[in-house]
């Protein structure tokens, strides 16, 4: 099978918000940083078919948004900034979050629902994933903390790149699809989609890099806003980080007259994708640990409440 044929097949079959298998893998990465007590709580919230795994549940939101019942949640997956990268990048929650919601408001709303669900488990009022509202909240939070890290989910230009035509692997596609799946597959050098049942080797490598502080920005810096009691503030900050990439790389380096798989664009985008996926996973784990009441650093050290304040202000 030629490289171009494989890439074209992926483009045609897997165009989604971070492809579904990438969402699964972000969830599996996050699981590596969850406290045992957090895991035990989440197991009581998730519906039984997920076997207590947020990795297996993390892609659910995409499929649900395309059903008649769930179409109301479709616009929750992004926030359309009113800017024009690469000349100008600017994201404002009040201005840019559309009527009906966006990824920032969805994270905030579902986090608050999930907080109540955690308390129900702790007080014995919820077990076995019997409250669908609670399971949905956890699945949405697990998904949207992934979505908000994808740069084109925080950009309004060309509807998040969906109307920006490009070529990748000799196949005509859209810029959004390139960032959802093509660059992650390029980064991992894979010939098939990632598992939806267990963490894949490439993502295990990212977990190891987080633990060893092997990114150009230190993982503790990714958590400067990670308090689920201020979800709008934190989610807006994350969205602005992602939006910034649309000026710094996504649109500043793209050339729609060349093949992005061959002209260096994909290779240059790999570090961006690795960083953003890793941020999403660590933030998700930290968010859930804090909701349950446990805090640990990426290297596994436990922090008291006071120490965590220091950590977040470093």
Q: How far apart are CA 48 and CA 129, in angstroms?
A: 6
Which domains does the chain possess? 3-313 (1.10.575.10)
Q: What is the band of 23 on the pLDDT scale with cuts at 50, 70, 90?
A: very high
Angle separating helix axes 103-122 and 231-245, nearest 10 degrees: 140
Q: Could you report the per-residue pLDDT of 57-95, keeping only the tens digit for each?
A: 999 999 999 999 999 999 999 999 999 999 999 999 999
Phi, psi (rounded to 5 degrees) for 171: -125, 135
pLDDT at 93 (0 to 100): 98
Q: How far apart are CA 244 and CA 58, in angstroms?
A: 25
User: What SS3 string covers 274-305?
Assistant: HHHHHHHHHHHHHHHHHHHCCCECCCCCECCH
Mean pLDDT along residues 179-203: 95
Q: Could you report the per-residue pLDDT of 100-138, keeping only the tens digit for each?
A: 999 999 999 999 999 999 999 999 999 999 999 999 999
Q: What is the DSSP string of 121-150?
A: HHTTS--TT--HHHHHHHHHHHHHHHHTTS
Q: How far apart are CA 187 and CA 254, in angstroms?
A: 18
Of the candidates 104, 110, 250, 120, the residue with the CA atom closest to the CA atom of residue 177: 250
Averaged pLDDT of the chain = 90
Taking the CA of residue 118 as centre, how many other CA atoms within 13 Å lie in the half-sphere pointing to its CB? 21
User: Is the pLDDT at 7 greater than 60, yes or no?
Assistant: no
What pTM was computed for the model? 0.90
């Amino acid at each position: 099978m030629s490289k171009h044929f494989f890439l074209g097949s992926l483009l045609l079959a897997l165009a989604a918000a971070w492809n579904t298998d990438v969402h699964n893998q972000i969830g599996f990465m996050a699981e590596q940083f969850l406290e045992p007590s957090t895991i035990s709580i989440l197991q009581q919230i998730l519906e039984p078919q997920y076997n207590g795994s947020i990795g297996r549940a993390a892609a659910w939101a995409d499929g649900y948004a395309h059903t008649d019942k769930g179409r109301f949640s479709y616009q929750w997956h992004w926030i359309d900034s009113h800017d024009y990268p690469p000349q100008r990048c600017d994201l404002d929650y009040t201005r840019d979050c559309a009527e009906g919601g966006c990824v920032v408001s969805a994270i905030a709303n579902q986090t608050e629902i999930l907080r109540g669900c955690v308390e129900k488990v702790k007080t014995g009022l919820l077990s076995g994933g019997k409250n669908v509202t609670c399971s949905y909240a956890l699945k949405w939070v697990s998904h949207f903390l992934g979505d908000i890290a994808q740069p084109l989910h925080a950009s309004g230009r060309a509807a998040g790149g969906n109307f920006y035509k490009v070529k990748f692997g000799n196949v005509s596609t859209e810029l959004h699809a390139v960032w959802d799946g093509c660059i992650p597959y390029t980064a991992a050098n894979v010939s098939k989609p990632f598992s939806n049942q267990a963490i894949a080797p490439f993502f295990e490598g990212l977990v190891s890099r987080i633990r060893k502080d092997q990114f150009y920005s230190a993982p503790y810096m990714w958590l400067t806003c990670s308090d689920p009691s201020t979800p709008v503030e934190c989610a807006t900050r994350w969205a602005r980080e992602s939006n910034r990439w649309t000026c710094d790389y996504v649109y500043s380096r793209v050339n729609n007259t060349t093949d992005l798989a061959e002209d260096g664009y994909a290779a240059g985008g790999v570090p961006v994708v690795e960083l953003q996926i890793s941020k999403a996973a660590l933030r998700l784990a930290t968010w859930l640990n804090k909701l349950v009441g446990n805090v640990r650093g990426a290297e596994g050290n436990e922090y008291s409440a006071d120490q965590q304040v220091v950590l977040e202000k470093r």
